[in-house]
Amino acid sequence: MIRLSDNQLREVKQAAAMVPQDLRGAFLERLAVELRGKDLGDGPVHRIAYETARSIVWDTGRPAVEV
């Protein structure tokens, strides 16, 4: 289980908003893998969440959702 602070959860939700709705499950699964075993400070969570969101969007060749 990965525990996130309220601020970190907010960052994850904002990053998820960039991902098309039908790919958000894949985003969350990939994010969980990326966060596992890492120091979960606010900075790393923000960086990894946005990198993962960009990666999901890039891999599909679909445009990011405008936030």
Domain ranges, residue 47: 6-60
Task: State the pLDDT at residue 57.
Answer: 87
Residue 67 is assigned to a structural domain of this protein: no
Query: Residue 49: its pLDDT value, please?
Result: 97
Residue 1 included in any domain: no
Angle, CA 29 vertex, CA 24 and CA 49 arms, to 5°: 70
Q: What is the pLDDT of residues 26-53, one digit of tens each?
A: 999 999 999 998 888 999 999 999 999 9
8 close to 19: Cβ distance less than 8 angstroms: no
State residue 58's pLDDT score. Answer: 79
* Residue 36 placed within a domain: yes
